[in-house]
Amino acid sequence: MGCGFSRNHATQTRITSFDRELLDLKVQRDNLQQYEQRLKDSLTKYYELARRLVTQKERERALVVLKVKHALQKSIEQAQNMRFNLEQVLSEIELKQLEADYVQKLKTGTKLLRDIQKNLSIDEIEHLLAETKEAMEFQNQVAQVLGDYSLVEPDEECEEELQKIETEMFPSVPKRSKETDHSTMEKKKTDTKESNGEGHVLPLPA
C-alpha cells in the first residue's frame, strides 16, 4: 500500500516537474523577445544620436556611437537565434505531447475493442445466425400452410349451421325453409311494384 502511494506520488511529482520546466522554457522565450525589443529601441536611439553628431561636425564621437550600434545589432541577432532555438524546442515538445496523447487514446480504444470481442465470440454469432435462419424458415412454412388452406365453407353448410344456432338460442322461432324465404322475397318485390303505381299496396301477412 505504501509502495503504491509512493509510486503515485512520484508520478505526480514527475508531471509537476515537467510542467515547471516547460513553463521555464516559455518564460525564457518571452524574456528573449523582450530583450530583443529593448535592443532595437536602443539601436534606433544610437542611430539618431550618430546623425545628430554628424550634423554637429563631431565625426569622432559619431563613429564611436556607430560602433556601439553595430555591437547592439550583433546582440540582437544572437538573441533572435536563441529565441528561434527555443521556439523549435517548444514546438517539438508540443508535438510529442500530442503524439503521447494519441498513443494513449489508441491504447484505450484497442482495449475497448478487445473487451467487445470477448463478449461476442464467433461460436455465439454463428449460433445466433442459425437460430434466426431456423425461425425464418418456420415462419415461411407457416405462411405457406395458411395460404394453401381455404377458410371458405360451402354456402349450404353455413346456412344450416346458422339455422342450428338460431334454433338453439330461440327454440320458439319456427325454422324457415329456403322456399319460404324465396316466397317472401317475391312478395316484397310485388309490393314494391304496386307502391310505385303498378298495383295496389297489399298489407304484408302477419
Amino acid symbol at 41 = D
Cβ neighbors of 204 (< 8 A, separation 6 or more) are 187, 191
| Residue 193 confidence (pLDDT) above 70 | no
- pLDDT tens for 29-54 read 999 999 999 999 999 999 899 998 88
- Residue 146 CA to residue 131 CA, distance in Å, equals 23
* Highest mean pLDDT: which range of 6-20, 34-48, 110-124, 172-186: 34-48
Which pLDDT band holds residue 15 (cuts at 50, 70, 90)?
low
pTM, full prediction: 0.46
pLDDT of residue 172: 66
Identify how many contiguous H helices and E strands the chain contains and give both numbers: 5, 0
Which pLDDT band holds residue 204 (cuts at 50, 70, 90)?
very low
pLDDT of residue 184: 61
CA distances from 129 to 1, 124, 137, 178 (A): 49, 9, 12, 59
